[in-house]
Amino acid sequence: MVERVQPGDAIHPGKPVTVDRYGVGARINHWITAASLILLGISGLALFDPSLFFLTALFGGGQNTRALHPWIGVVLFLSFFIFFFQLWRANLPAKVDWVWLSKFRDIIGGHEENLPELGKYNAGQKFIFWSMTFLILVLIASGIVIWEQYFAEYITIPVRRIAVLAHSIAAVLIICIFILHVYAAIWTRGTLRAMTRGSVTGGGPGPNPRRGLGDGAGQRKIGPAE
């Protein structure tokens, strides 16, 4: 028997309990987003600093890198916001997030029994989600302003200079957020499995897998396997 919890999620009772987290389409879209962000980071750094210009060889040279970079940005924007409209409700802040954050020592120490019951995502994951959302919006808006091939005649030089600065700052910040996301995915039990196989066992994803079923299992009174 499969019990549907919300679109994309399902609880399969058993030993252990299995929870469907992401369908095939969502997983493919996630990896397109991740690949786009990596390619943008590499090509952007190659264009940003002369000492990293050698990275343009990965794209067939400087001209190709300059031509491809903004189009990869468009792919990132579209793929991320497909993901955004699927997940934004699950990432809305909740009171329990502050309780979770207040138990930082228990999180780091692995004292799962002291952590509150969560929904699909913890406060850290929500922070990454909304940070990515904001920074991608800044990057696409500033990127359009400095995309000289199509918009040079509509943008003044002073505005373009401001856009370049905003684009650069947002790029550095999103690289930092991406590194944090990768680290958290490795540290948070069940996250990598959820994005490769589409399901987790016993709960999660979350640093507390016994509580990670959150709203789904909690509301349906189906307890995760020990």
Measured CA to CA, the distance from residue 143 to residue 195 in angstroms comes to 29
Measured CA to CA, the distance from residue 189 to residue 207 in angstroms comes to 6
Measured CA to CA, the distance from residue 160 to residue 204 in angstroms comes to 44
Measured CA to CA, the distance from residue 195 to residue 126 in angstroms comes to 16
Measured CA to CA, the distance from residue 120 to residue 38 in angstroms comes to 26
Q: How far apart are the first and last CA of the chain?
A: 20
Q: Match 């302003």 to its residue by tokens.
A: 145
Measured CA to CA, the distance from residue 26 to residue 198 in angstroms comes to 9
Q: Which residues are catalytic?
A: 181
Pairing of strands 9-12, 18-20: antiparallel
DSSP category for residue 225: P
The three-class DSSP label of residue 11 is: strand
